[in-house]
Amino acid sequence: MNLFKLSWKYLTFRPLSTGLNVFLLALGLAIITVLLLIQDQFEKKMNQDAAGIDLVVGAKGSPLQLILAGVYHIDFPTGNIPMDEAQKLSRNRLVKNIIPMALGDNYQGFRIVGTNHDYPALYEAKMQSGVLWTKPFEVVLGAEVAGKSGYKVGDEFLGSHGISVGSHEHDANKFKVVGVLERKGNVLDRLILTSVESIWYTHDEGEAEPADSTTNQEEHHMIKLQDSVAVKGFPKTSESRDLTTLLIQYRNPMAAIQLPRLINSGTSMQAASPSFEMSRLFELLGVGITLLQGLAMVIIGISGLGIFIALYNSLKERKYDLAILRAIGASRGQLLLLIFLEGIMLTFMGAVLGILLGHTFLSVIISQNEQGVVGSLQPWIFLKQELWIVVYALTVGVLASIIPAFAAYQTSIAKQLTKA
């Protein structure tokens, strides 16, 4: 028998009241844990996905939308841009590298991105199996796409038009898997990569269908399918073609000042900076996060009050017990400690439960939301800040116990025991 055990016995002697207080505290702390985890991983992920991309160029529209569609692949693209205008941009001395992208198709909700080999290189992607695409209609799957669809190198599938599930399928040409990327926890996991040419040809077929297809055109395409595609720079073509977005890396810091202005005022395209747009987005989300944090604080405050009331009430019933403990040799200090221990044990349980509950909440959110950005968060990563949650909870416990503990300290044994 010691003080720890005695405190524990008293806590378990009132399981409902103890349980309610622990649960209430855990709920408040769980919200904070979820916020911490999402904020941390989201920002990390957002920064990781945007790393190396200084500027995104696309059709005029909302700059935030352009970033969300071009970098994170979660929003609809703003529209298409003519390729010759894009090519002019690549000759600008301020541009170090430019990655063209053609969007517009999906396979079961996973976006098919037409680009060149610089794009996977940007994220230092490694092949898990197979090789990168070199011919039209050859595709490389992101790790998550491969996992969900079960496709391996050599398998074939049909893409659908549009970037969300449920649109009509392009049944003229099948995509052929030639490689699968290693899982890196970034945006590539959720993408299907192919050449820009593949995207073009898919749509050529679609448009050719209603018109009178001549043997001439058929032959033309047949030849193209045997050609290899551009793995660097822009695809070669004699026709006037469209792209969706361009990812640009600056050659020097000067470019950050000149290039966006040049593009926004001098062309029919718009330029947006991922870092600027994302900080604007976080600012907007910040209001919601602050609100949730406030709610969590209120719940924690209430649970603190609950713990205080529970300890204080139980103290009234236990004045005899405390007097008896004094009569059998306990000092005032030990009684003080006994009550503090109860508060601290209660909140410690609340903290541990809260953190576990928070991680569980997150894993439920993730399992409900597999194809969105949230889907790639990791629910069972533990952060250093979670230790602060424990410290914070224990502070609540100590604060809630102060008054009851001093009341216990001041209990007069003679008066209590002889009241009869």
Indicate the residue among 68 and 325 with the shorter CB distance to other proteins: 325
Among 181, 248, 330, 336, binds other proteins (CB under 8 A): 330
Shortest Å, Cβ 333 to other proteins: 7
One character per residue 275-314, x = contact with other proteins (rule: CB under 8 A):
----------------------------------------
Which residues, 396 to 415, sit near other proteins by CB under 8 A? 413-414
Q: Is 4 in the site for other proteins (CB under 8 A)?
A: no
Cβ atoms of 179 and 132 within 8 Å: the answer is yes
Round to whole Å and give the CA distance between 89 and 294. 48
Candidates 10-18, 96-104, 139-147, 401-409 — which segment interacts with other proteins by CB under 8 A? 10-18
Q: Is 325 in the site for other proteins (CB under 8 A)?
A: yes
Q: Is 265 exposed, middle or buried (0-12, 13-18, 19+ CB in 10 A)?
A: exposed
Round to whole Å and give the CA distance between 11 and 5. 10
Cβ atoms of 246 and 58 within 8 Å: the answer is yes
H-type alpha helices, 103-231: 118-122, 143-149, 196-208, 215-226
The 3-class SS string of 330-361 reads: CCHHHHHHHHHHHHHHHHHHHHHHHHHHHHHH
Q: Is 49 in the site for other proteins (CB under 8 A)?
A: no
Indicate the residue among 238 and 418 with the shorter CB distance to other proteins: 418
SS3 112: strand
Token pair of 201 as six digits? 């040809």
SS3 318: coil
List b or e across 208-241, with b for residues whose CB sees 16 or more CB atoms inside 10 angstroms: eeeeeeeeeeeeebeebeeeebbeeebbeeeeeb
Shortest Å, Cβ 353 to other proteins: 22
Shortest Å, Cβ 349 to other proteins: 17
Shortest Å, Cβ 24 to other proteins: 22
Indicate the residue among 225 and 327 with the shorter CB distance to other proteins: 327
Indicate the residue among 390 and 413 with the shorter CB distance to other proteins: 413
Token pair of 320 as six digits? 């005899």
Shortest Å, Cβ 408 to other proteins: 14
Token pair of 17 as six digits? 């009241």
Indicate the residue among 127 and 417 with the shorter CB distance to other proteins: 417
Indicate the residue among 172 and 324 with the shorter CB distance to other proteins: 324
Which residues lie near other proteins (CB under 8 A)?
Answer: 1-2, 6, 9-10, 12-13, 320-321, 323-334, 413-414, 417-418, 420
